[in-house]
Amino acid sequence: MVAKSRKQTGKSPATQADRDRSPLVSPPGKSAGRRPGREGKASSGSHPNGLSGIGHKLGLTPSVRLGITLLLGKFGAYHLSQLFENDRHFSHLSNLEKEMAFRTEMGLYYSYYKTIIEAPSFLDGLHMVMNDRLTEYPLVINTLKRFNLYPEVVLASWYRMYTGVMGYFGIPTKMCWSINRGEGLSSVDSCEGMGDPAYFYVACVFLLNGVMMSLFFIYGAYLSGSRLGGIVTTMCFFFNHGESTRVMWTPPLRESFAYPFLVLQMLLLTYILRTRIPSRTAMVALGISNLCFMLPWQFAQFVLLTQVASLFASYILGYLGAAKMQSILVTHMITLGVCFVLMFGNSMLLTSFYASSLVSIWAIIALRDRFTQVFRPGIVIWVMQGVAWVVSTVLLKSMLSTVFGASDDAHISGLIKSKFTSYKDFHTLMYTCAAEFDFMELETPVRYLKTLLLPINMLVVALIAGRTIQDIFRFLRDGGKASGKNEDADEALVYHSLQLVAFAVLAILIMRLKLFLTPHMCIMASLICSKQLFGWIGEKFKHQIVVFAVMAVMAVQGVANLQAQWAIIGEFSNLPQEELLDWIQDNTRPNSVFAGAMPTMASVKLSAGRPIVNHPHYEDAGLRERTKLVYSMYSRMSGETVKKNLMKLGVDFFVLEDSWCTRRTRPGCSMPEIWDIEDPQNVGKAPLCSHMSRNSRPHFTTVFSNDIYKVLKVPKATKDLR
């Protein structure tokens, strides 16, 4: 080994604020009372299907498409990996430091990847994660079912195959150095290369999201009908990179694996909407991309709900035919069923608003002739179909939740309720007190303004809305007859505008969800190159000059945003947590059970391999109640009550963090204040955690402490109560 010093940058470490600135059916009987869907001009069989058909329309040969994919994919992956390296100095971190760099739920997800690659065989590792005894002691849970861990299973299998093949041929896969950390700290070994588990993991994530750049180019070009539109979309994404994604800071999060497949799914959906009679191949491709989006991420169902709602609105207004709408619904239903099976019968899928919405919309379309018999064509029938959808979806969802006894998504209802009322409880505040679950900050639309992303989208949507309103008035004037429709209408544009509105609502309510809004705004920005919308500018050359002028203005702030991201230079270090994890490894038994703050527990499980009773995956109802018991340490309850709570869970050690006792993101959001909502009878008393930080006796014994962490030993009587 050779000595290798850490980089000296002379620049301040990156802060979270820096990162935030830089988150199948045949056509049914024809209805006489509503406009027939506008099925587009292309006929099936006139060109290849799916992405091949899209490339054909753009005049891109297979070799050109491959070249674009490789070029943009390589640049995108390099850009992400460089930002990640600059922020963490990942190449110089020890294995323990790399694991600690995956904070909170990232560490939890990565721990299962680590379990599979360190197991004697892949099947042994798969059995271990499907029969996990460490995550929610003393329960045995199928983490593949609970945590959407298919990405970790796939990556672990690839890693084992890669290292096995390279080892067989004697090809080295990593290079290691001894790192002198300075400041009187011991040296550590650090490895680079695809043979390093953490490197392999993040490299695959960045490669996937790099390839997404080529999808954005193709998407923008296809939607606008101009290759220049693809360039506009790609540039907008990079100019607004800090608002579009956070994969460069948080590679293991579920969105890092799922979102690229949503982009592919929406691109295929656009192709289907523009094809008169979509082929079965195109529908299968849509279903596969849909499945790849749903499997890695529990939140996918909410996004797909907005997509189905936007499509249904297009259908109601007459921009989407009944046959095509039903084909899309069937594809969604089949995908949902396959996902339900692959997720081992996860009830959250069938009891979701998304599942209920698919059924209710199908029923409304099937009964469309009845609607036309009862209601007059026009606004009345549109409103009644919308009301029928909302009422039937809510009723069906409530009924299914009751039948399956599902309450895992109850916190979502509470979260939405808290956005419009003064309602709040413990679990709701655990979300809303985090900045990413708060309303969108005012700085976000200001940043959209500076890169012209917001003005361009407002102009594009205004033009589409103007044409749609004209269409509606023409339809109403003609008494609901098909002769009133605009032959140049493009149902894909109407759908994308409605989808943009849906994403905007989500982002305004929950800031974290701007990761859907910003990229979609970048895609919609490509429409400034659309001859259909902006043909009034003049001939092609004049139109292109205007587009280049707009891009030049966008680049002023866009380049500044990129430079700000590139200037983020930091180095990960967390010595107090390193001391804690080393102490746990050296001074506790492998079966010692730990409890504490959710982010810390993820690190304890990942790096120390100890059983824990709570963790950061807060979507399970049982886990939420466990965490509430654990967090009673930060309430104003008596020490005896909290001790009994921990004994009830079978805890051996509690990791106390003073910062959790005093941290306050805004008024009413410190842990003691959150507990005041649930425990009003103790309001006014001093928090128990403040007592424990000074003297843990007589209820607990302090066995380890440093500047950040204090480990409290729960009395031995715990064993008798398990």
Planar angle of CA 430, 433, 437, nearest 5 degrees: 90
Pairing between β-strand 3-5 and β-strand 175-180 as defined by DSSP bridges: parallel
Task: Tell whether 519 is covered by a domain.
Answer: yes
pLDDT exceeds cutoff 90 at 375: no
Q: Do residues 113 and 209 both lie within one domain?
A: no
> pLDDT by residue (tens digit) across 236-280?
999 999 999 999 999 999 999 999 999 999 999 999 999 988 999
Q: Do residues 176 and 218 both lie within one domain?
A: no
Mean pLDDT, rounded, for 422-443? 86
Task: Tell whether 14 is covered by a domain.
Answer: no
Q: So what's the pLDDT on residue 374?
A: 77
**CA-to-CA separations, 170 to 90, 166, 197, 298, in angstroms, rounded:** 26, 6, 18, 41
**CA-to-CA separations, 587 to 79, 186, 583, 591, 628, in angstroms, rounded:** 42, 20, 6, 12, 28
Q: How many CA atoms lie within 13 A of 166 on its CB side?
A: 14
Closest by CA position to 393, among listed 299, 290, 305, 502: 305
Q: Do residues 248 and 183 both lie within one domain?
A: no
Task: Tell whether 228 is covered by a domain.
Answer: yes
Task: Tell whether 390 is covered by a domain.
Answer: yes
Q: So what's the pLDDT on residue 11?
A: 38
CATH number of the domain enclosing 672? 3.40.50
Contact status, residue 27 vs residue 322, Cβ threshold 8 Å: yes
Planar angle of CA 349, 352, 355, nearest 5 degrees: 80
What tokens were used for 100?
Answer: 């600690």
Mean pLDDT, rounded, for 579-590? 95
Q: Range with the lowest mean pLDDT among 56-70, 292-306, 604-618, 690-704? A: 56-70
Q: What percentage of the chain exceeds 90 in pLDDT?
A: 62
Q: How many domains does the chain have?
A: 3
Q: What is the rounded (10 degree) CA torsion for 388, 394, 400, 401?
A: 180
Task: Tell whether 705 is covered by a domain.
Answer: yes
Greatest alpha-carbon pair distance for the chain in Å reads 84
Q: Do residues 381 and 454 both lie within one domain?
A: yes
Q: Do residues 487 and 563 both lie within one domain?
A: yes
Task: Tell whether 133 is covered by a domain.
Answer: yes
Q: Do residues 364 and 497 both lie within one domain?
A: yes
Mean pLDDT, rounded, for 30-56? 48
| Residue 434 binned pLDDT confidence (cut-offs 50, 70, 90) | confident
> pLDDT by residue (tens digit) across 520-539?
999 999 999 999 899 888 88
Task: Tell whether 78 is covered by a domain.
Answer: no
pLDDT exceeds cutoff 80 at 407: no
| Residue 340 binned pLDDT confidence (cut-offs 50, 70, 90) | very high
Q: Do residues 553 and 608 both lie within one domain?
A: no
Q: Do residues 545 and 586 both lie within one domain?
A: no
Q: Structural domain of residue 516, as residue ranges?
A: 204-567
The DSSP result for 471-499, as a single string, is: HHHHHHHTTS-GGGS-TT--HHHHHHHHH
Q: Do residues 343 and 222 both lie within one domain?
A: yes
Q: Do residues 543 and 685 both lie within one domain?
A: no
Amino acid at 121: S
Q: Do residues 453 and 400 both lie within one domain?
A: yes
Task: Tell whether 22 is covered by a domain.
Answer: no
Q: Do residues 291 and 165 both lie within one domain?
A: no
Q: Range with the lowest mean pLDDT among 46-55, 192-201, 265-274, 408-417? A: 46-55
The DSSP result for 306-322, as a single string, is: HHHHHHHHHHHTTSS-H
pLDDT exceeds cutoff 60 at 485: no
DSSP 267: H
Q: So what's the pLDDT on residue 72?
A: 83
